[in-house]
Amino acid sequence: MPKANPRHPGFPIPGGPELRARGWRQEALLRLLENVLSVGEDPDNLVVYAALGKAARNWPAHRAIVKTLIEMDEDQTLLIQSGKPVGLLKTHAKAPLVIMANCNIVGQWAKAEVFYELQRKGLICWGGLTAGAWQYIGSQGVIQGTYEIFMRIAERRFGGDLSGRFVLTAGLGGMGGAQPLAGRMAGAAILCVDIDAERAKKRREIGYLQEIAPDLDAALAMIDAAVKEKRALSVGLVGNAAEIYPEIARRGIVPHVVTDQTSAHDLVYGYVPKGMSLDQVKSLRDDGQGQLMAASRASIVEHVKAMLDFQAKGAEVFDNGNLIRTQAREGGVTNAFDIPIFTEAYLRPLFARAIGPFRWMALSGEESDIARIDDLLLDIFPHNRIVTNWIRLARQHIPLEGLPARIAWLGHGERTALARRVNELVATGELKGPVAFSRDHLDAGAMAHPNIMTERMKDGSDAIADWPLLDAMLLCSSMADLVVVHSGGGGYAGYMTSCGVTVVADGTVEADERLDHALTNDTSLGVIRYADAGYEDSFEEIAAKGIGHVKV
């Protein structure tokens, strides 16, 4: 039976042994759709995160998707175009159940203004990364990546941990909301600014944020005390980062680490310019888009100039993937890209070996299934320091949202090994229900984004989008249950293409085959992509794992 959802009472959390669909594969995808809304930011409007990332185009489309998933057979494939179901075709039992293409606009037309017009006409919607692919699991979905970034910084500059260090950031939405907990887990005193008081309150209620300061003076005093005591602490401050960052700089305070995860990618539906209230911004979104975009970009210019000032004074400053540097450069900050992107600065050696954010969701709705898989991870990978450290931390600190889920950075072979073992546990009844496996779209072979994932690739192949397209076709050939190709919407229009995948472990022999082929081939392509760009770590992985790389 579904469970009550105190955050969004109209969107219960799925679970239980009863099926509404004709098989667990279909039921799994239905539950994942329900889950992204149960943990989403604005489910009444189908928005999951990032201001515009939607689970379906509109409510008629959502109802049609649900009806089709319930009624379809296993040898059929549902086609979804930008959040709207458009076809249910006879394929075969080893074909994907759902194939999606969301927000893909022809190159010369892939601009924010064109996207907004198409959206206004009801012809398109943006699926974010994991929102429209029904793979979002709440803030936990990005928290390990955020934690690993902080730990790489700690290792590089601060002797291995961030105790006694001040981290300044902004954004407490569906993605940025992971930052306060990740920073605290890394030992830091972290200050998180957000314009929306309700977002800060929500993060505190679910355990991701400890304190909300009444004003900047109080916030800085709390941070200063924690730094002096080398005490981990997360503090929220309601305010506009474009005002708060410059004010902190004006006072001569230099944080040890500075980043930002506001919705700077979207100048209309995301970022809020300084001097404007949320209500004022909402009133301009239909008829004042030009005014709003100009005001947002002007505020981002001041926001980023303060970040550059911190950097010049010795802070570790990085872009967390929200296009804030791009917006600032377009606003006239010619040196905005002196701020490095997190992927290249901290995580590229991991991606070169296809180590990335893998995730799984207990479709039973039972937390005990996640606990058992945690035990399994520790048993299978006792010498993997990243995994063992993370699982122990996650068990201690991470509150579960929606369907119980977990994320861990696993690489080639590791993902397949875990998933197949879990499938055995489902088959023997040791778990109370099937488990869905997925990953973030920000993965080795799955994303082309020259200002985030593929910035400054070794061979200059930053803008080539062949890799996520190859990944999607490969995953269809490898029997995955859901395969999606997303491109950017809103301010991300024209900047990215990504591929997503979901495979269901329902305890059957057929599921074992799907998991083996899809997960192995997905990471194989990731390693090949980086080998093609000339990364030595990838060549070592190919040699060690016997990956079928064709050298030219």
CATH 3.40.1770.10 domain residues, the chain: 350-545
Predicted pLDDT of residue 6: 87
Cα–Cα dist 317/340, whole Å = 7
Cα–Cα dist 234/208, whole Å = 8
DSSP codes joined into one string, 60-114: HHHHHHHHHHHH--TTEEEEEETTEEEEEEE--TTS-SEEEEES---GGG-SHHH
pTM for the complete prediction?
A: 0.93
Q: In CATH, what is the architecture of 140-346?
A: 3-Layer(aba) Sandwich (3.40)
Cα–Cα dist 24/508, whole Å = 10
CATH 3.40.50.10730 domain residues, the chain: 140-346
Cα–Cα dist 93/510, whole Å = 9
Q: Is 226 helix (H, G, I), strand (E, B) or coil?
A: helix
Query: How far are the Cα atoms of 95, 410, 424 from residue 417, in angstroms, in the given order?
Result: 22, 10, 11
Predicted pLDDT of residue 2: 87
Cα–Cα dist 155/151, whole Å = 6
Residue 293 CA neighbour count, 13 Å, CB half: 14
Predicted pLDDT of residue 95: 98
Predicted pLDDT of residue 1: 76
Which alpha helices (H) appear in 268-361, and where do they start and end? Answer: 278-284, 289-312, 324-330, 342, 348-351
Query: How far are the Cα atoms of 313, 470, 516 from residue 352, in angstroms, in the given order?
Result: 32, 17, 21
Q: What are the phi and psi torsion angles at 192 (to 5°)?
A: -120, 120
Q: What is the pLDDT along the chain (552 residues), one digit of tens a residue?
A: 789 998 899 999 999 999 999 999 999 999 999 999 999 999 999 999 988 999 999 999 999 999 999 999 999 999 999 999 999 999 999 999 999 999 999 999 999 999 999 999 999 999 999 999 999 998 888 899 999 999 999 999 999 999 999 999 999 988 889 999 999 999 999 999 999 999 999 999 989 999 999 999 999 999 999 999 999 999 999 999 999 999 999 999 999 999 999 999 999 999 999 999 989 998 998 888 889 999 999 999 999 999 999 999 999 999 999 999 999 999 999 999 999 999 999 999 999 999 999 999 999 999 999 999 999 999 999 999 999 999 999 999 998 989 999 999 999 999 999 999 999 999 999 999 999 999 999 999 999 999 999 999 999 999 999 999 999 999 999 999 999 999 999 889 999 999 999 999 999 999 999 999 999 999 999 999 999 999 999 999 999 999 999 988
Predicted pLDDT of residue 38: 96
- Residue 340 DSSP symbol: P
Predicted pLDDT of residue 164: 98
Predicted pLDDT of residue 493: 95
First CA to last CA distance, the chain: 55
- Residue 257 DSSP symbol: E
Question: What residue type is 481 in one-letter code?
Answer: D
Predicted pLDDT of residue 281: 92
Helix pair angle (112-120, 289-312), 10° resolution: 140
Q: In CATH, what is the architecture of 350-545?
A: 3-Layer(aba) Sandwich (3.40)
Instruction: Identify the helix (H) or strand (E) that includes residue 543.
Output: helix 536-545
